[in-house]
Amino acid sequence: MRSIFVILTLTAVLSHAQSQSGFTRVPVVFSGGHETDPRDHGRPVVLIAGALGVPPEVFRDAFSRVHPADPEKGPLPGEAQANKAALLAALGKYGVTNERLDKVSDYYRYVASRHELWPTQPAVAYAIVQSGKIVKYEIVNGGSGYSSTPETTVPGFPIHPLAELFYGKDFKKNGSIQSIAIH
């Protein structure tokens, strides 16, 4: 019983603090954001390229030299070696090493036919509301693994703010929400 009282008291204190400051925090809802470019045939190329430190066009060009194997069976050893050599020939000049290519490939490997998805972490953000208007956004956790801009909504508001994504070599931040635009 005491823990319920403490929780209710803490909730009342926080609500009072929010009303005293004139600000209210409303959770931002993110949905989707895991679509891929049709040219990439389901591969999260923007994430792979970001993790490798190259532009998506560079990775697409490198991958055009690869002969993909059956996703259920995988490549034969000779096919895997030929594909790796083709990728490294194109990506090596950008500083991509065999070890990094393996690490990134393993991290983003998934089988779509099994309804799998590459690793993702949902973003957490709040709209800061004052006098009935959103004045700013607070990103608590930008998430990761967004391959396309997620739909962003704020319950109770008709606007759909636009999130900007960040791509980079750190898996925990690759494909994360970098900013949210105020309308």
Q: Which residues contact 123 (CB under 8 A, 6 or more apart)?
A: 28, 30, 139, 141, 142, 143, 146, 150, 163, 176, 177
pLDDT at residue number 59: 97
Q: Which domain holds residue 106?
A: 53-110
Position 122 in a domain: no
Report yes or no on 100 lying in a domain: yes
Q: Is the residue at 26 inside a domain?
A: no
Name the average pLDDT for the chain: 87
Residue 182: inside a domain: no
Overall number of domains in the chain: 1
pLDDT at 11 over 90: no
Is the pLDDT score of 64 beyond 90? yes
pLDDT score of 6 more than 60:
no
Q: Is residue 60 part of a domain?
A: yes
Residue 46 lies in a domain: no
Going by pLDDT thresholds of 50, 70 and 90, the confidence category of residue 183 is low
Other Cβ atoms closer than 10 A to 138 = 12
Domain annotation covers residue 32: no
The pTM assigned to this predicted structure is 0.83
Provide the greatest CA pair distance for the chain. Answer: 68
> What pLDDT digit, counting tens, does each position of 97-126 carry?
999 999 999 999 988 888 899 999 999 999
